[in-house]
Amino acid sequence: MLLGLSFPKFGQPAFGWVALAPLLAVAWDCGRARTLRRAFLLGWIAGLAYFAIALYWLVGVMTQYGGLSTPVAVLVGALLMAYLALFVALAAWIVAVAVRAFGPHALLVAPAAWVTGELGRTYLWSGFPWALLGYSQVTVLPIAQTASLVGVYGLSMLLAFTSGTLTYALVAPRRRFVPLASVFALIAVLAVWGSWRIRDQALTRAGTPIRVGVVQGDISQDEKWAGALQDAIMKRYIDLSRAALAENARFVLWPESSLPFYFELDPAGVAPIRRLAREGHAAFLVGSDQVEQVRFVPGQPPPQERERYYNAAFLVLPDGLTGAVYRKMHLVPFGEYVPLKKLLFFVAPLVEAVSDFSPGDKPATLPVAGHVASTAICYEVVYPQLIAGFVDRGSELLTTITNDAWFGTSSAAYQHWDQAAMRSIEQDRYLARAANTNISEFVDLYGRVLGETALFEPAVQVREVRFLTERTVYGHIGDSVAYAGLVMAIVLIAGSRKRLHR
């Protein structure tokens, strides 16, 4: 429960520092009693509580927009939570295995065990790295600066280390407070350094400034594809964009899937955007689905599908031409595709309601005002390595466009924003976010919110941000600290088996 309550909108970041201590105490007890299966089971139960609190909103999304009855939506949500809970169970089992072989000192390797689970749920299957423990600290700005060194996984390891040393202090026979004092000293050093980094704010004076506008259309899901409302929807976006241009915006962002038509299939519908770009001498980034015809190759079997659909972002340059297209690479399970369709036969209404999108295959960047920007579409902003890939390809400004209408006023909208903000700290980049219904914001490279909109109302925000080229330590080393933890966990398991067989 402490894990789930470490996140918004009901949670408190302070819980993140001690959330793992009860689970680690149980793992220690199981390791001492050699009941490893019990450690796994209790870790799984803890994971269920964790994700039930953090991801409760999934049920509402599937009932309101997926066409499922409440009992079936609860079942589907429970299956996903049960799967994610396996990675918490894995972490508890690793600690118990290590304790069985090495005694209470093994509690100090809790960071390695925990990050193994977080990496697992990021990369295995389709991946779902939502509500990683490190995200709980994104609003605690002095501590959050640690992400510029070791990323969100490293921040998760710091929190796990704190819980591990606290548990060690409660159960170790001697010298029990030395690790706890050491971790408190480390936290103090990081907090002082983080505070200095924010106060110094040297990079807010570096780079090239540009005024960026984010447009929040507030179009409900049931209205977006109503043909009779197409003109009204476009008028709203054009009017809000004119307001952004009046504040000297030179780069204007519309939300994910904001167009009530297909960008490439309706030249007349896109014409007002091209005209506005030319009049305002500004670039526009607009979200739209993209359709691609699947070509038949002579001599090969005919393709099973004739068309592929992509969730895409189109860049319109100041001369009115299309400058770049980015196709979303990480699709939302049960939102943009349904995994294991044949196995999950009882979610037929959801299969029918969900658009069957194809993933993009390259992290395309965006040429803006003589510089390079990038965008992440909706949920994929929670993947640190995707954003790192953009920066590796020269991105000097991060953007994300999203349609959080699915989330309503639930915790999901706030959790989503916090996870996007972490990318700025990790990469030393400003980030602009355009959402359809809630939390269109700007954040600077220190994680400070520069401007935000209210939920469920049409709005526009314009702020000066900067194109930056500097790289953080994390930008250079990536998730090497997290992978070192994974290697340590593997070595511990192997070493534990070897030690017990002597």
Residue positions annotated with a catalytic role: 256, 328, 378
Order of strands, sheet of 251-253, starting from the edge strand that comes earlier in the sequence = 322-327, 307-316, 283-293, 251-253, 208-216, 459-467
CA 438-444-450 angle, 5° bins: 50
The most distant pair of C-alpha atoms in the chain lies apart, rounded to whole Å, by 78
> What Å distances lie between residue 477 and 234, 236, 240, 394, CA to CA?
44, 44, 41, 16
**70-102 vs 110-123: helix crossing angle, rounded to 10:** 140
Count of beta carbons in the 10 Å neighbourhood of residue 336 = 21
Give buried/exposed letters for 232-247 (b at 16+ CB in 10 A, else e). Answer: ebbebbeebbeebbee
Please give the structure tokens belonging to residue 251: 């780069």
Tell me the H-state helices in 55-206.
57-64, 70-102, 110-123, 141-144, 147-171, 177-200
* SS3 labels along 377-408: EHHHHHCHHHHHHHHHCCCCEEEEEECHHHHC
In sequence order, the 6+-apart residues with CB closer than 8 A to the CB of 195 are: 142
> What Å distances lie between residue 191 and 144, 196, 251, CA to CA?
9, 9, 35
β-bridge mates for residue 375, sequence order = 399
**70-102 vs 36-54: helix crossing angle, rounded to 10:** 140
State residue 450 phi and psi, 5-degree precision: -100, -20
Q: Chain-centre distance of CA 479, in angstroms?
A: 15
Residues in the chain: 502
Instruction: Single out the residue of 435, 453, 444, 421 nearest to residue 137, CA to CA.
Output: 421
Taking the alpha carbons at both ends of the chain, their separation in whole angstroms is 39
| Cα–Cα distance measured from residue 187 to residue 191, given in angstroms and rounded to the nearest whole number | 6
Q: Chain-centre distance of CA 26, in angstroms?
A: 30
